[in-house]
Amino acid sequence: MTTLRVFLICLVLLVLAYVLRIEFFPYAVYALVGVMVISLLMGRSALQRVELERHCNRVKAEIGDNATVSLEVRNRKALPIPWLIIEDVIPERLEAEGERALAMLMLPFGRKTMKYRVNCRYRGYHQLGPTVLESGDFFGLVRRFLTGSERNFITVYPKVVPIGHWGIRTRRPIGEVIVRQRLHEDPTRLAGVRHYQRGDALNRIHWPATARTGELHSRVYEHSTLIGANIVLDLHQPSWEAAGQGQAGKPGAPPTDWFDNSEFAITVAASLAAFIIEQKQQVGFISNGGDAAERVRAEILAAGSETRTEAMQIAREEEAVDRLRPVEVPPQKGDVQWAQLMETFAHLEARAGLTCAQIIADEYEGWPREASLLVIVPALPPPLLQQIARLRDAGFLVTVFVVRNEEEYIVGRARLAAEHIDVVHLRTERDLDQVAVAAL
């Protein structure tokens, strides 16, 4: 009920009291009007000149680390706040210990500091905050809310499981090997010097040999090739949900959590990438999942929109882009590539956009055929089986990892055996550690 309606009702009652000559009733109406006025004035000023300041001691973390968040609330006016509820918003899957929510009386020019600790149990790009304040008048008739604009963001990297043995078939062994298929020259590795040939670039000329012999000589470089692997990770949320329901529907089978299974799939991708990087080979990555950091930025932008229509338009545009744009890291090697991959793995989240079969059909022509393809999936529906066979026909060497779905693994292995495509079933981290045994 709005304030105007309350005053109108009081006015009507006051007129009726005078008409009906009820002597005590006007005093009750006067008292009610007075309480309403006091409540409005107190409610309007309750959260005025209230300041929030927040700090977090971590920006990046590993799974199992703790992050400490401190909140300071200051009352910058000479009036007290009769009651104040402070609550900081954190993701549901994270655990917090300490003062994350509090109800209190705040004196004039008073301040309150709250601290709590967050256990980074799950990989992801997590938003801590904003802080929500609620206050009002003495009687609880008027309430006001204030949402802080400051937030903290913490990136939690996925777990990486060491791989003791590598049994995945590749065009060349993982590690330092002699190059047989020459694709391009590596200018960082000098092989020798030869006589100049027409068409040699000036930067190839070996000037010391030229000066010593009086004839032009050119540098000869060792050849290198594109090796390593390209990792394809299926993060199509409906596919993971359907796979979990299928497993739970078996007689005597325990229920499965699609979220935990998809998190294990990201651990698989990070562990495979780590092993390849350690062997000084290149690795690329592509997924139909989404980037949590981009989603958060879009949400903040929509929240700052002036109209509801504008906010909805921004949300629809961002959703349409996410459905059609894969998350991709081009194949490279080295520490810089590893840092970019880990950041990408941390920001990944499941989406209901394109399926893995659609991603492969749209993107495979741009992938290097000399690199192995490692496809990580929750299931092997017919469209995906067709696309994997198509990859084999296009010249790719493919290995498929089925995550915690034994029935799909058995069916897929039987169907892909004729295409000479390896299918590996991963249930636990131990299976990943002994990936060679599972693949042979």
Query: CATH number for the 229-289+326-439 domain, one of 3.90.550, 3.50.4, 3.30.470, 3.40.50?
Result: 3.40.50
pLDDT at position 175: 47
Residue 130 and residue 118: Cα distance in Å, rounded?
15
The backbone torsions φ and ψ at residue 187, rounded to the nearest 5 degrees and listed phi first, read -70, -10
Which residue carries 């636990």 as its tokens?
A: 428
292 within 8 A of 347, measured Cβ to Cβ:
yes
Query: CATH number for the 50-157 domain, one of 3.40.50.2000, 2.40.50.1070, 2.60.40.10, 3.30.870.10?
Result: 2.60.40.10
pLDDT at position 272: 93
* Mean pLDDT of successive 10-residue stretches along the chain, which has 440 residues: 63 70 67 73 85 94 95 92 92 90 92 95 93 86 85 95 69 44 50 78 84 86 62 96 73 67 96 90 94 83 56 53 77 94 96 92 88 94 94 90 94 88 90 54
- Within 8 A by CB and 6+ apart from 171, the residues are 181, 227, 370, 371, 372, 397
Nearest alpha carbon to residue 259 among 286, 289, 285: 289
Q: Is the pTM of this model over 0.85?
A: no
Domain boundaries, the chain: 50-157, 184-224, 229-289+326-439
Amino acid (1-letter code) at residue 25:
F
Residue 394 and residue 365: Cα distance in Å, rounded?
9
